[in-house]
Copies of this chain bind each other. A is one copy, B any other.
Amino acid sequence: MRHIPEEPEAQGAPPRVPRQRSTGAVPTSADVARRAGVSRATVSYVLNNATAVRISEPTRRRVREAARELGYVPHAAARSLRAGQSRMVLMPAPGAPVGALYHRFFHDLQWALSRLDYTVVQYGSAGLTGDEAALAWAELRPVAVVAPGIHELGPAGVAVLKRSGARAVITVGPCPVEGAHALLTDHGEVGRCAAEHLLARGRRRLGVVMPEQPALAVYARARLAGVRAAAARVGAEVTELPLAYEETAAARLAADWPERGVDGVFAYSDEYAMLLMAALQDRGIRVPADTAVVGVDDLMLGRLLRPRLTTVRMDLPSAQELAELVDRTVRHPGTSPTVRDLLGVTLVARESS
């Protein structure tokens, strides 16, 4: 795969260099400069497409050829040390499997940021949480951090990141974090939307599935609060239904169903709804005749259930908008943190309610 350099023809040609470089040595811009017979500054101007400096086309060509022949790759870290600022946007890797919704959002955000000349890396903070994780991120000197979820980052972590050169720290989650821009995703709205639908269908004894996975607790509580608020307005009952994501747990819950007298369930997500519906149907409990079921996420699997699952679709913040907020904040880091509510919700009514 190595290019074999040809003999230079032009006058003022570069000094000859050995054809085979010693293995293991990484070509630097100094190597490119030597081979092309120019200064390192010229190499830098040419390879960064700097237009402010007049450099002849033959010289530009010679530099590009030398870079290609040597297999020279710019060093992001060295460049960021010289510039005093990186172009790296760091996102913590999600702590749980991501659904198609989040994946799409991340892909779009990456794409939008790459068009603004940022490099996006996801940092796997295995075993680190909160401000310890922020310290580890800070070592990479990202110019911006976009942190979805709430477990990763507190005010101390935000301060560490800013001291380490991060010009933009943006959280995406249910609560703002001191010192950071916050894009709020108010999950109370998700519960409210589902509950209002069940109430409109005449259900008055609502169950709310509370997943036992700790990572979901903060969302579950916010959604429960939304259900409670909607139920309180018409005097409906609300029962919490703790549930592990396991068949046996769902079977136990279904066995107690008649004595609970729940006639409408907000099932936290489409996946929990599927788990619960299978258990209810195994016990002969009819959906929706005996109990209506509503999920969240509008996953494909909800359309494949029988009855088809009613669900709440969340409209995440636009990746383009978020990328522009990152860029604006990097360029004007002095602006004080903003808090914006960006989660929209839509009820998708199907057969299960």
Contacts from A to B (Cβ < 8 Å): 1-2, 24, 26-27, 71, 73-78, 80-81, 86, 93-94, 96-100, 102-104, 106-107, 110-111, 114, 119-124, 126-127, 135-136, 138-141, 155-156, 158-160, 163-165, 179, 245, 247, 271, 274-275, 278, 281, 300-301, 303-306, 333
Contacts and interface: CB of A to CB of B under 8 A. Distances in A.
A24 B319 CA distance: 27
A5 to B, nearest CB: 14
Contacts of A126: 107, 110-111, 114, 120
A126 B103 CA distance: 12
A100 B97 contact: yes
Nearest to A303: B247
A102, A107, A124 — which one has the most chain B CB atoms within 10 A of its CB?
A: A124
A22 to B, nearest CB: 12
28 contacts: A1-B156, A1-B158, A1-B159, A2-B159, A24-B333, A26-B165, A27-B163, A71-B159, A73-B139, A73-B163, A75-B141, A75-B164, A77-B80, A93-B106, A97-B103, A98-B103, A107-B126, A110-B124, A114-B126, A120-B126, A121-B123, A122-B122, A247-B303, A247-B304, A274-B304, A275-B300, A278-B305, A278-B306
A77 B165 CA distance: 13
Contacts of A1: 155-156, 158-160, 179
B121 A122 contact: yes
A107, A141, A160, A163 — which one has the most chain B CB atoms within 10 A of its CB?
A: A163
Contacts of A106: 93, 124
- The 7 A-B pairs at the shortest CB distance, nearest first, are namely A77-B77, A1-B159, A110-B126, A122-B122, A110-B124, A97-B103, A111-B126
A245 B99 CA distance: 16
Contacts of A275: 300, 304
Contacts of A86: 77
A136 B163 contact: no
Nearest to A138: B73
B71 A163 contact: yes
Contacts of A114: 124, 126-127
Contacts of A119: 123, 136, 139-140
A164 B97 CA distance: 32
Given A75-B164, A107-B124, A121-B140, 5 more contacts: A1-B158, A26-B165, A98-B98, A121-B121, A274-B301
